[in-house]
Amino acid sequence: MDVFLFDLDDTLIDTKIYAQLYEPILRLIVEKRELTGKSLDKKAAEFGLTKNKYGRWDTGDLCRELGLLAEYYEELEKMIEMVPVLRDSVLDVFSKLREKKKKIGVVSNSMRRTIELYLQKYNLLPFVDFIFSQNDAGCRKNDPVFWKKLIQKEKLNPEESLVVGDDPIEDGEIPRSLGFKTFLIKSSESLRDLQKIITFEI
């Protein structure tokens, strides 16, 4: 493998931070836009948003559509300072890949600014060769177009690229259909397993 493509949420970052951010953002939306409960659900549906696997709206997407991104990032930055959410072994894995002169990309449904915020906070930017986000693709990872645009933009050979993520469809089935190799994160031990593979087999 020449290129390693890492998902962000639930792969590099523990998404418990969003559970803690959810209520403060909902209060912000009530204060600034007077939307709550059913009125918020209706507005989110009008924007074409859907709730995630935890039954929550993506607060970043909500705030973007409601014109509250500045306030969102102010809250997110405060939360990142309080809640350590970098997954164990990420730095070790990235360091090992860099030693072996492999290319590292972060491919995510998150907004580019969110990805950059985390990478800066945890000093991962020096390891990362490129970021590809929903902003770059114009769609999310559950759409094959996301992966096709990634291949084109970064001039990737899917057969020499490994997608590392937690979602069986977005990080598994869909990229595999386009020729990518995949490695599914199923638990906190998975990145350690990936590190062993990198150490002994690549």
Q: Spell out the domain ranges in the chain.
A: 3-13+86-201, 16-82
Tokens of 115: 């990805």
Average pLDDT over residues 93-113: 95
Q: Tell me the average pLDDT of the chain.
A: 94
The model's pTM: 0.91
Tokens of 122: 């945890």
Tell whether domain 3-13+86-201 is in CATH 3.50.50.60: no
Kindly state the percentage of the chain with pLDDT values over 70.
98
pLDDT number for residue 200: 67
Strands 3-6 and 161-165: parallel
pLDDT per position as a tens digit, 150-199 = 999 999 999 999 999 999 999 999 999 999 999 999 877 788 888 888 87
Determine how β-strand 161-165 pairs with β-strand 130-132: unpaired
Q: Cα–Cα distance between 109 and 95 in angstroms, integer?
A: 24
Above 80 in pLDDT, residue 88? yes
- Judged against a pLDDT cut of 90, whether residue 75 lies above it is answered with yes
Burial of 31 (0-12, 13-18, 19+ CB in 10 A): exposed
Three-state SS at 125:
helix
What would you report as the CA-atom Rg of the chain, rounded to the nearest whole angstrom? Answer: 17
* Entry field: residues in the chain: 202
How many CB atoms are closer than 10 A to CB 108? 26
Strands 103-107 and 3-6: parallel
How does pLDDT run across 31-48, given as a tens digit for each residue? Answer: 999 999 999 999 999 999
- At 29, the pLDDT band (50, 70, 90 cuts) reads very high
Residue 201: its pLDDT value, please? 59
> Cα(2)–Cα(75) distance, rounded to whole angstroms?
37
Going by C-alpha positions, the residue among 71, 43, 67, 73 that lies closest to residue 57 is 43
